[in-house]
Structure 1
Amino acid sequence: MASQCRVTELLLRPLRELQDGFSPDSRAAVQGVLEAGAGSLISFRVLRELHTLLRERGSHMYLHELLEGSEIHLPVVELPKRNPELVARLEKIKAKLANEEYKRITKNVSSQCSQHGTLSDLGRQVRPLKKIIITIFNFLVTVAAAFACTYIGSQYVFTESAARVLSSVIVASFVGLAELYVLVRTMEGQLGEL
């Protein structure tokens, strides 16, 4: 963290005027800065003390006005040397992770692929078709069962066969429409999940 800044001419003026008001520790630092002149480094502790002295003397100069044109001196951070054991361990972990990633990427690659793909690919392609065929078969069986039940059950109400067939067709149509509605809602929900 920065604890010093470079002195400018604007900052040297109040330091010269108030050098006797500083504490003994700060006075030595101010003396060194005044001898070195502009461009030398001064600590923020001395700057705070300078600002306090200016306030006590009734000056309306703010601290940021004093520091205008100054540069904050950032000390060079020296990074510690890395432990060779730690570096070796990190390299081993990186190699292990890279190997796991490679295995994950290539796990479904095999040398037994035919020209059109493996049997697992065929199964993956047939599954949706199988679902569609079962759904259509279920729809046809439901409509046919509704027709048959209505035809057999209407013999107690109607004596003519035309009336029985007509009532069976009407009931089978309603059941078919209801089945289609449920099918569309289910497909819509499945598409929404994708």
Structure 2
Amino acid sequence: MASQCRVTELLLRTLRELKPNLTPDCRAAAEEALKQGPGALVTFRVLRKLHSVLQETGSPLYLHELLEGSEIHLPVVELPKRNPELVARLEKIKAKLANEEYKRITRNVSCQTNKHGTLADFGRQVRPLKTVIITVFNFFVTIAAAFACTYIGSQYVFTEAAARVLSSVIVASFVGLAELYVLVRTMEGQLGEL
């Protein structure tokens, strides 16, 4: 932290004039600065004492006027050398973290891709289509079976083929509507679960 500043001509003249009013240790620091001339380093402790002397004597000069043009002296901070073991350990940790980040970013990337996505994505897309195809096929098989059973069973009631076909179509229509009702309720329940 800064504890010194470089003095200017005005500050040196003021130090020369008010040197007798300073404490002995501040007077010694002021004499050292006067020997070195402009650009000498003076501690803040001496400046604080000079400020109090200026206030006591009722001087028209203020401290900020005296410090105008002077610079704060910042000591050079020497950084300690880093421990090589610590540096090596930090590098290992950085590499490990970078590897984990890379794995996290690329975890959903697969080499088995095509223009539509991975093969697993393709399987997930085909499953609902497979279910729909089986349901539609089951619907038509049920209607055809109802028609065939009614046509064969109606030979004992009707002798004419037209009456047998008409009764088979009516029964197949009712079975189709019932099947459609059950299908809609099932699909509605599956959509509600999603």
TM-score tier, shorter chain, comes to 0.5 to 0.7
Q: Contact 2:7 / 2:41 at 8 angstroms: preserved in 1?
A: yes
Partner SS for 1:88:
helix
Partner of 1:168: none
Partner SS for 1:18:
helix
Deviations 1:1-38 (A, max 9, x none): 11000000110111010111111111111101111110
Worse overlay, 105-114 or 62-71: 105-114
Q: Contact 2:54 / 2:61 at 8 angstroms: preserved in 1?
A: yes
Structure 2 letter corresponding to 1:92: K
Deviations 1:92-139 (A, max 9, x none): 100000111111122112222234322443477789x99xxxxxxxxx
Deviation at 1:56, TM superposition (A): 0.8
Q: Quick check: 1:103 aligned with 2:103?
A: yes
Distance in 2 separating the partners of 1:125 and 1:15: 90
Do the aligned partners of residues 65 and 123 (structure 1) sit closer, same or farther apart at CA in structure 2, a change above 3 Å counting? farther
Percent identical among aligned pairs is 74
Partner of 2:75: 75
Q: Flag as ranges the 4+ runs of structure 1 deviating above 4 A.
A: 122-127
Distance in 2 separating the partners of 1:31 and 1:63: 19
Do the aligned partners of residues 7 and 124 (structure 1) sit closer, same or farther apart at CA in structure 2, a change above 3 Å counting? farther
Partner SS for 1:102:
helix
Partner SS for 1:28:
helix
Q: Contact 2:2 / 2:72 at 8 angstroms: preserved in 1?
A: yes
Partner of 1:87: 87
Partner of 2:176: none
Q: Quick check: 1:52 aligned with 2:37?
A: no
Partner of 2:65: 65
What is the TM-score with the length of structure 1 in the denominator?
A: 0.61
Partner of 1:33: 33
Do the aligned partners of residues 126 and 33 (structure 1) sit closer, same or farther apart at CA in structure 2, a change above 3 Å counting? farther
Partner SS for 1:72:
strand
Q: Contact 2:112 / 2:119 at 8 angstroms: preserved in 1?
A: no
Q: Quick check: 1:117 aligned with 2:97?
A: no
Partner SS for 1:52:
helix
Worse overlay, 25-34 or 56-65: 56-65
Deviation at 1:60, TM superposition (A): 3.2
**Greater radius of gyration (CA):** 2
Distance in 1 separating the partners of 2:111 and 2:93: 29
Partner of 2:3: 3
What is the TM-score with the length of structure 2 in the denominator?
A: 0.61
The alignment covers a number of residue pairs equal to 130
Deviation at 1:90, TM superposition (A): 0.5
Do the aligned partners of residues 25 and 117 (structure 1) sit closer, same or farther apart at CA in structure 2, a change above 3 Å counting? same
